[in-house]
Amino acid sequence: MTPDVRIQVTGVQPAAPAAVPALDFTLSLDATGGPEIRSITLATQVRIDATRRGYVERDKERLAELFGPPEEWSRNLSSLLWAQTVTQIPGFTGATTARVTVPCTYDFEVAAAKYFHGLDDGTAPLDFLFTGTVFYQDGDRLQAAHLPRRAEADYAMPVRVWKELMERHFPGAAWVRLGREEFDRLYAYKVRHTLTGWDDVIRSLLAGGRT
């Protein structure tokens, strides 16, 4: 009998210990009534289905770089790829739980970071698409089968979980990537105006100092 594995996402928490920010999503796997599972090689694609939540005006202003002005959202609002991971799940009979670890970043070149940063509260609608290979015991033989095509789940992740994770790793800070030439010009400006830190440089420029 080929195992029928059903997967749900039941929770999320910061991965610990972790040198870089990451979230652990808890999976509930159910293969009740099927053969003994020896292991599963589980590939997970996580997507943000931005169409599944509402947005206030502040959200729309901060997400304009992703989806354009509000009047264009009816055609621009779409699904965003967040992450792809592979997880090895040990053997079990009936049901078990497992964790999928998703690395996170505060790099604003990444669409997912822009999306999460742009929301003040509520939940982020996630889609988990699972593929992979199930190794199971069939009598005295070890067999392999692909996960069924319907192996997917949705999950409403509290936005505060991502924000608290970023605050833990980058307290009171955010990251912006610059080209080397732009950084050299910015550094020269800092030296020329004898500014102490990079925050002082940005404040000076925002106040209109361009020389």
Q: What is the pTM of this model?
A: 0.83
Average pLDDT value for the chain: 89
- Residues 182-201: pLDDT tens digits? 878 887 888 888 887 777 88
Separation of alpha carbons 134 and 57, rounded Å: 46
Separation of alpha carbons 149 and 132, rounded Å: 10
pLDDT at residue 160, as a whole number: 96
Q: Spell out the domains of the chain, with CATH numbers in brackets.
A: 6-169 (2.60.40), 178-211 (no CATH)
- Residues 64-89: pLDDT tens digits? 989 999 899 988 899 999 999 999 99
- Residues 118-152: pLDDT tens digits? 999 999 999 999 999 999 988 889 999 998 777 89
Q: At what angle do helices 159-169 and 111-118 cross, to 10 degrees?
A: 110
Q: Are 165 and 124 in contact (CB under 8 A)?
A: no
pLDDT at residue 126, as a whole number: 97
Query: Which residue type, as a one-letter code, is found at position 97?
Result: T
pLDDT at residue 197, as a whole number: 76
pLDDT at residue 209, as a whole number: 57
pLDDT at residue 56, as a whole number: 92
- Residues 1-49: pLDDT tens digits? 678 899 999 999 999 877 789 999 999 999 998 899 999 999 999 999 9
Helix (H) or strand (E) holding 192: helix 180-192
